[in-house]
A and B are shown apart, each in its own frame.
Chain A
């Protein structure tokens, strides 16, 4: 059983969520009114496994697993699977079991350089009837037969799609990395533009990948981001550049910046866990993203900086994509075109880590309504 594979709808809801996120109306602190999303405020103390679970009172939430896989034949593959949750205040008072209180969206992809293609698919459904749910208490989010859950020691990922499938177990080897101020991650100059955000870097991956009916065992390293908020973007922000890297020495780097329509940086931030286990948080002044090489999509004619020099404090690395074409195009219905793909991190000629890079807001047509 699966929900509609329908890129248009997916993009529409993503756009709707984005629009909701950038809406001018301020949320009610404490979220006491029914249907009004709860606001993100400093001082929240994260606890696990509780905060692996869903936070339905917030407008938007996502679980975002990315990583590198290796097949027995020695191929390197990138993978990502995302579950979005979007609160729909309009349905708050409807007593129907079908009332779309929460819309769930999932997006999965495999970057396969040996075949030069990006396998991707998506699911969308309203939460309900046990067919699609995002549970509180511990990670358990699913849409029909796609799921991401944390039933015990490991996070289980299942995504059987049209031409491919992911069947992965992600095992924690480090404690959660709380981004920003103990998980309160600012996204702009105003204090309202913020999210609760933690990362699980250096996850040990084992499992299987199916491509065109052929199932192979894989292992590798992954990164799980979990973020929830009601107002993460300021008005005027049109896109972001974001990267997560599992460093070879056991450390981890997350860095992002938010751009406006002129391409100016409106906000930036990042977190570094060193190989020794120390944590460093970076403010807007300490993060720099410098494009080094651009790639133009033959399909959409959008140009993405796919190679970067990234500086976070004293750490300077160069990002190179696993393959250039890791673009997702849903422009036809909403204008959402983005690049999301596996990258290698270099210090000079030496590979120092592997991670995932996300570039949004480069398409001409992109509007955040």
Chain B
């Protein structure tokens, strides 16, 4: 047997006697890795589906001409088709019909751009020209339970049209729900004669993209852009990037807490095994070899934990995709029927990362252990001295200063990277301060006559390093939980305030969520306004508006609003004073995101493409908008109608007459308008409740991740308690010897646990409070482009803190009980 194998046997033989410790460490790492990998896999699967679908739709297009709904004049198609260098111009009319994306295409032109999509249709070409025909992707047919030959009701304006399902696309042709129609049929059925929303362009071989792009640009009316199709396929990815990154970071916290646990467990185990480790050294194992062996131990534990975690993560991800369709709360990533791809490389990366993190965590105690002279360590009673014995004030303060500085840096590619760095720096700086703070607080602890308690204080004062080491994991996880709780609470309070402002009336009316083909004409508006029980109606036209090729469309809201009523309908943050000479240009109000994405400022002019022409407005104010993250512009409806001639609306707020019954009004309105399910009528209270429910659902995953991080932190407390108690068997024996009852010993342990966890929790509350400032003012603002007002959930935090202190105390007693049993005399003898 080679020496290395002998040593390894010696080392790993000890694992057998500390199964519980190893198991807890593995479990902690597994939980952290499971959460992190599950979140990654779910988001990746959803994004892959979106990107594949977008690529299928873009096909082999080199350039895409795109305009906002309802679209641009179709004559542009002929103009683009005739340009030099254009091989194929394929006209497209995209519609959203009751949540289903429907593309109207000319199959002859589209076949050259989207061959994968159209290969299937070749045989059905004659059917394709049926004026009421639609082909459905397998996903769309499955979702709506439709089969070839079935009828499908759709809404165009306020008219219901019936389409016939002519056939299904192969599941491989397009993975997401999609309807395909002949472009002429789509224009006709949905009252979009003369309009297109997209032209896919394939270039002649050898044609310069830049030249053709410039030639196309010269033809485009305002509001229509030309871009490369990659931007389309990346749109969902970029729209959800901030949300996904934040969840990923949260999952990392679980891993990080797990790593702290490894550090704690390893440090204590090294302390406990100091005798046998010194023996190894005496047997000829060099200092370096010993260090390596201990790190290897950490790596093995880490790899095992991570491997279990990845397996668990796969199960969680599978379940999440099945149950939540892959949407972890952002609301934009739902992929019904999405599939979880096996990604061995991703698994490997997570396992290697887990092993590395654990190895790194084991490195610090390993170095300490290796550095200890064996002769000294072999002697018993070498209790004090842990890795955290040094008090790196300077490092701590440098980290905290750096963290404070980083909080003032701007976002990077729309991500609050410096914000995360700031949190990490503050967190580590804070943790490094724990021993000093603990000592300071213990010094201030009042003297007590009760022996067990004064013993507890004395013990903690004597060995603060060990105790605070045990607290590191719980401080990390709890301070982050505090910070998150404050952030979410602040957001929720701000959200409620905002809802109260934007939902003024008694009832809210909306047409067909997720559709853009339905609209209420003037006749229907009159019907609503004159309806018995309705005292007042304010109508809104909500349409997407494409301002920049690379950005998602902003939402244009044409509302019954003017300079005087703006403050009552919008949560205005900054209002621009009226210019001296009165209004120079018609006013608009922009959401906060507009200031970040488009550099729009209150008081500045803003050009908007309306009906193909640029119109200039004055930004009268910036308002808070939680409903539309891509940016929103509110424009007086009269101005909008004058510019576009579009008198239709798709939303309304209704004020009811005194004593009118909302249910009766809703019933009468439904009967009068006869729009079926497309008409959404809810009381304002109901809308408010639904919005809050959605809000809370969005944070479920967040809460789950926090809870897991805290659970891992508690495991850390338990491991520490168990290990220290074991190491202090002799001390307990001694105390029993001098007359302390076992009950009193337990009391002493509980006192220690209570004191330490109280110190930890109070410290974590303070640290979390500081971190919450970074979350609220930096991470949230930079991620989601809206501001929130700080609000502290005092009761929630107090209860949480209390529960955690108790849990920590109980954990300490339970973990230490093993060491309390046994024969006092033998325990004392063992050590001498």
Residues of A within 8 A of B (CB): 1-6, 8-9, 12-13, 16, 19, 88, 90-91, 93-100, 124-126, 129-131, 144, 333-334
Contact = CB atoms under 8 A, between A and B. Distances in A.
A3 B87 CA distance: 8
Contacts of B194: 97
B126 interface: yes
* Interface residues of chain A: helix, strand, loop or mixed (majority): loop
A90 B112 CA distance: 24
Given A1-B89, A9-B125, A12-B126, A98 B131 contact: no
Among A12, A96, A129, find the residue whose CB has the most chain B CB atoms closer than 10 A: A96
For the complex of A and B, the 7 pairs showing the least CB-CB separation, nearest first, are A8-B122, A98-B184, A96-B184, A4-B112, A129-B78, A12-B125, A99-B184
A154 to B, nearest CB: 25
A99 B185 CA distance: 7
B126 A1 contact: no
B443 interface: no
A98 B106 contact: yes
Contact of B129 (A5, A8, A90, A97): A90
23 contacts: A1-B82, A1-B87, A1-B88, A1-B89, A3-B109, A4-B108, A4-B112, A13-B126, A19-B126, A91-B131, A91-B184, A94-B184, A94-B185, A95-B193, A96-B184, A97-B74, A98-B74, A98-B91, A98-B182, A98-B187, A126-B108, A129-B77, A144-B81
B629 to A, nearest CB: 35
Contacts of A4: 88, 108-112
Contacts of B229: none
Contacts of B668: none
Nearest to B187: A96
A125 B123 contact: no
Given A4-B112, A125-B108, A333-B123, A131 B131 contact: no
Interface in B784-803: none
B123 A12 contact: yes
Contact of A9 (B83, B87, B108, B131): B108
Contacts of B74: 97-98, 129
A88 B187 CA distance: 18
Contacts of A2: 87-88
B183 interface: yes
Interface in B163-195: 182-185, 187-188, 193-194
B48 interface: no
Contact of B86 (A1, A12, A90): A1
A1 B81 contact: yes
B123 A90 contact: no
B130 interface: yes
A6 B131 contact: no
B111 A6 contact: yes
B602 to A, nearest CB: 44
Given A2-B88, A91-B131, A96-B188, A131 B81 contact: yes
A8 B111 CA distance: 10
B125 A3 contact: no
Given A13-B126, A125-B108, 14 more contacts: A1-B82, A2-B87, A3-B112, A5-B112, A8-B123, A12-B122, A16-B126, A91-B131, A94-B184, A94-B188, A97-B194, A98-B74, A98-B183, A100-B129
B603 interface: no
A3 B108 contact: yes
Nearest to B74: A97
Interface in B105-131: 106-112, 119, 122-123, 125-126, 129-131
Interface string B259-271: 0000000000000
A100 B109 contact: no
Nearest to A143: B108
A25 B89 CA distance: 37
B81 A129 contact: yes
Nearest to B112: A4
A13 B91 CA distance: 20
Contacts of A13: 125-126
Nearest to A88: B129
Given A100-B129, A129-B78, A124 B108 contact: yes
A129 B199 CA distance: 15
Contacts of A131: 78, 81-82
B112 A96 contact: no
B106 A126 contact: yes
